[in-house]
Amino acid sequence: MPAPNSPPLILVVEDAPDNQVLVEQVFQDSGYNVTCIQDGQAALDWLGKNHPDLILLDLSLPEIDGWEIARQLKASDRTSNIPIVAVTAHAMKGDKESAIASGCDDYLTKPLDIDLLEACVKQWLDRK
């Protein structure tokens, strides 16, 4: 658990370097700490030792996909309270419902709308 007065920690699980850089740039002056991880297994390993305030989760990842990561995190008492926002190119009818059903708390589609991303992150972090 982060210290009470430490800046919020956002974990970005995203395999596309361009999208990682974009999210880092959006939040570089926000007062948030941002950690990026490129594949699902590495994300689960990192989450075994760390507890972010929010996860931005791509659903199409190497090793373990985002759907399975969300299911595992919500099934664990240690991580079930971490808000998960799906950030995905899966934008067909039913994809949002599937993401929510797998454990994601919110859903944003790519290409990312920066204003929507910032508002979504703020909304979830303000709940903490």
Confidence of residue 5 (pLDDT cuts 50, 70, 90): confident
Write out pLDDT tens, residues 31-46.
999 999 999 999 999 9
Q: Left (φ > 0), alpha (ψ -120 to 50) or beta: where does 69 sit?
A: alpha
Written as six digits, the tokens of 30 are 């926000």
pTM for the full predicted model: 0.94
Assign residue 43 the CATH number of its domain: 3.40.50.2300
Within a domain: 2? no
Within a domain: 44? yes
CA distance 125 to 76: 20
> How many domains would you assign to the chain?
1
Instruction: DSSP for 32-54, please give it.
Output: -EEEEE-SHHHHHHHHTT---SE
CA distance 128 to 123: 9
Asked if 70 and 57 count as a contact pair (C-beta separation under 8 A), the reply is: yes
Range of the domain at 111: 9-126
Write out pLDDT tens, residues 74-112.
999 999 999 999 999 888 888 899 999 999 999 999 999
Within a domain: 23? yes
Within a domain: 3? no
